[in-house]
């Protein structure tokens, strides 16, 4: 398998710092809970929370709409729920990529029902050409074309998450 670099590790680090600074300004004096969506968002979230300078709590959720496929089934399943209450707290959902928007739309509705003070979303990658919902993330690292990408948390068949860059698979 050949992998072409789409976004370098240096460009990712620079953009994550910028996002962290923006989120820090927006959440000054707030009760922030950062919710990472497993497994893909772990790398992005780890780097992001290290550059956010306001106090925060971390929690995780896990969903599935892909299984082992590279195409979404269109049905979002909740595999792991939050361990903490978010009522009256400010929630930032951190996701690796938004394409169809189905997962983030589902999570946004689910978490809104738990009465948080606010909910925003941060995504490393946005593929607007694949959107099936009206969902728009609040913080976006990079807008990318409709290509299958791996690295920096994103995988193919559970592999390549550890690449320090975003790559495109060329078969």
User: What count of residues does the chain have?
Assistant: 171
99 is catalytic: yes
Instruction: Exactly one of 88, 99, 146, 155 is catalytic; name it.
Output: 99
Residues paired with residue 168 on neighbouring β-strands, in sequence order: 4, 149
Q: Following CA atoms 35, 37, 42, 45 in sequence, which dihedral angle do they give, to the nearest 10 degrees?
A: -40
Side-chain-side CA neighbours of residue 34 (13 Å):
26
149-150 and 166-170 as β-strands: parallel, antiparallel, unpaired?
antiparallel
Q: How far, CA to CA in Å, does 1 sit from each of 26, 68, 73?
A: 41, 17, 25
Cis omega before residue 39 (within 30°)? yes
The full DSSP string for 5-19 is EEE-HHHHHHHHHHH
Q: How far, CA to CA in Å, does 171 sit from each of 1, 2, 25, 77?
A: 6, 7, 43, 30
**Residue positions annotated with a catalytic role:** 99
């Amino acid at each position: 398998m050949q992998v072409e670099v789409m976004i370098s590790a240096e460009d990712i680090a620079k953009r994550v710092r910028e996002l962290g600074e923006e989120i820090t300004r927006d959440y000054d004096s707030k009760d922030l809970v950062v919710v990472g969506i497993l497994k893909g968002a772990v790398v992005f979230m780890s780097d992001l929370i290290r550059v956010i300078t306001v106090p925060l709590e971390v929690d995780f959720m896990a969903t599935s709409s892909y299984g082992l496929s590279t195409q979404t089934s269109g049905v979002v399943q909740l595999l792991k729920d939050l361990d903490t209450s978010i009522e009256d707290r400010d929630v930032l959902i951190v996701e690796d990529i938004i394409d169809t928007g189905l997962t983030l739309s589902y999570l946004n509705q689910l978490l809104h029902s738990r009465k948080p003070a606010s909910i925003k979303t941060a995504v490393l990658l946005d593929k607007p050409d694949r959107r099936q919902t009206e969902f728009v993330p609040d913080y976006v690292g990079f807008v990318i074309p409709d290509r299958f990408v791996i690295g920096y948390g994103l995988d193919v068949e559970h592999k390549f998450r550890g690449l320090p860059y975003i790559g495109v698979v060329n078969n």
